[in-house]
Amino acid sequence: MVLRSEILVNKNVMPTAEQALPGRETPMSLPEFHHVFKDTPLLGPFFQNVDFAIFGLGCFWGAERRFWQREGVVSTVVGYAGGFTPNPTYEEVCSGLTGHTEVVLVVFDKDKVSYRELLAMFWELHNPTQGMRQGNDIGTQYRSAIYCTSPEQLEQAKASRDAYQAELSKAGFGEITTEIDQAPTVYFAEAYHQQYLAKNPDGYCGIGGTGVCLPPSLQGN
């Protein structure tokens, strides 16, 4: 039997469902409006022709900022996904005992930016070959992930991964470790995490890519 205290020693190990913290039924309380987009409801309703993308690429503070800066993005929300614990707290996720990775839910206007363009951003903003870490941030909560909201997104995500792997291999990088799957439940993070770097401009940002670009043919519509 593996004890929780033993798992805490190595945050690179995914807990099992039995080992995971129990969590709670009550979701986090969120602000009504996006801190950057002001009059835009954080979670809708949205009047544009929107779709949703879910990306995990390390610490969600810096990742969220890069996506809200992209033209065509309507709203962004940070949270936790891919684990077992319902409605976890940040401290619980940091313990390594929930199985979640930090993610950004990106709401985008399909008339202004495509999912393929967002995928290109995702790959180029981080190093997807690092397993359970991103730079100096170590643990399961920093693993790379794409959670897809439709079969079309899943197909595009896998195609872009294969194309990016070819470019990474040419540049001497290893195998992509990004988890690509249909979207699980996203549990939203605490209110203070939402648009954190807009509220704290000098706050920590761990975003850093490999310098390798996705082929132009896979960056457009």
Question: Of the candidates 162, 159, 155, 164, which has an alpha carbon nearest to the alpha carbon of residue 182?
Answer: 155
Tokens representing residue 74 in the block: 């309507």
Q: Which amino acid is at 80?
A: Y
Please classify residue 184 by burial: count the beta carbons closer than 10 Å to its beta carbon, then call 0-12 exposed, 13-18 middle and 19+ buried: middle
Exactly one of 59, 148, 205, 213 is catalytic; name it: 59
DSSP string covering 79-133: EEESSS-SS--HHHHHTT-S--EEEEEEEEETTT--HHHHHHHHHHHS-TTSSSE
What is the rounded (10 degree) CA torsion for 158, 125, 98, 83? -20
> Does the annotation mark 213 as catalytic?
no
Other C-beta atoms lying within 10 Å of the C-beta of residue 190: 15
Alpha-carbon distance of 2 to 12, in angstroms, equals: 15
- Name the nearest CA neighbour of 79 among 95, 45, 55, 112: 55
How many residues appear in the chain?
Answer: 221
**Which helix (DSSP H) or strand (DSSP E) does residue 181 occupy?**
strand 179-182
- Catalytic residues, which ones? 59
